Amino acid sequence: METVLEAATKEANGTVAEKKPTVVFVLGGPGSGKGTQCANIVQHFGYTHLSAGDLLRAEIKSGSENGTMIQNMIKEGKIVPSEVTIKLLQRAMAESGNDKFLIDGFPRNEENRAAFEDVTKIEPAFVLFFDCSEEEMERRLLSRNQGREDDNIETIRKRFKVFLESSLPVIEHYNSREKVRKIDAASPVEEVFESVKVVFTSKDEKAV
């Protein structure tokens, strides 16, 4: 018997693939300002912002069977399988009614990337890469008062290391296909968004 999620995903799969949506992967280290810029892109260009981490957290919160499985994996320090995250992304894409998506914090590694293209049959239009020095990201993370437990210097450095080791191969892969749009994320927020606008406008996006 297939689970409700599997049935919904099958349906979502068909719907999402048929629509041939525009997908933009948003990558950048912790503290590179991805979230802020995604909110700006949503407002100006009508994209739907999907954060892989938020979808996983929401699924855990829902108390579903799938959510419990995800929670147990995270507790045990295991990486949630690509397929699980991809199913959640597909379901959110199908439910959104939109055909333009910013996928934030995914793919985290080469395996995620290959699985996403394989399962969804979708290649991103491009990858928006927020390039920021470790010093600047560290400064930002330490100064933001969100009370996040993971914002201490040791954990921050571990997160940088993981980002570099796992995400750089993804960036290199898309770079070789001329799909990476690199943004200097060290500038003030407004200046960064000016650079972002250039990327989206040159993609023939119409501001909403």
Cβ neighbours around 53 below 10 Å, total: 12
Q: Is 63 annotated as a binding residue?
A: no
Q: Is 28 annotated as a binding residue?
A: no
Q: Tell which residue, 102, 106, 108, has the closest CA to residue 21.
A: 102
Q: Is 124 annotated as a binding residue?
A: no
Q: Is 30 annotated as a binding residue?
A: no
Q: Euclidean distance between the first and final Cα of the chain, in Å?
A: 44
Strands (E), 80-159: 100-104, 126-131
Q: Is 57 annotated as a binding residue?
A: yes
Q: Is 140 annotated as a binding residue?
A: no
Q: Tell which residue, 110, 125, 76, 99, has the closest CA to residue 17.
A: 99
Q: Is 80 annotated as a binding residue?
A: yes
User: Edge-to-edge strands of the sheet including 126-131?
Assistant: 48-51, 100-104, 22-28, 126-131, 180-184
Q: Is 67 annotated as a binding residue?
A: no
Q: Is 133 annotated as a binding residue?
A: no
Q: Is 34 annotated as a binding residue?
A: yes
Q: Is 20 annotated as a binding residue?
A: no
Q: Is 36 annotated as a binding residue?
A: yes
Q: Is 187 annotated as a binding residue?
A: yes
Which residues line the annotated binding site for a ribonucleoside 5'-phosphate?
57, 78-80, 105-108, 148, 159
Residues annotated in a binding site for ATP: 31-36, 144, 187
User: Residues forming the annotated binding site for CMP?
Assistant: 112
Q: Which residues are annotated as a binding site?
A: 31-36, 57, 78-80, 105-108, 112, 144, 148, 159, 187
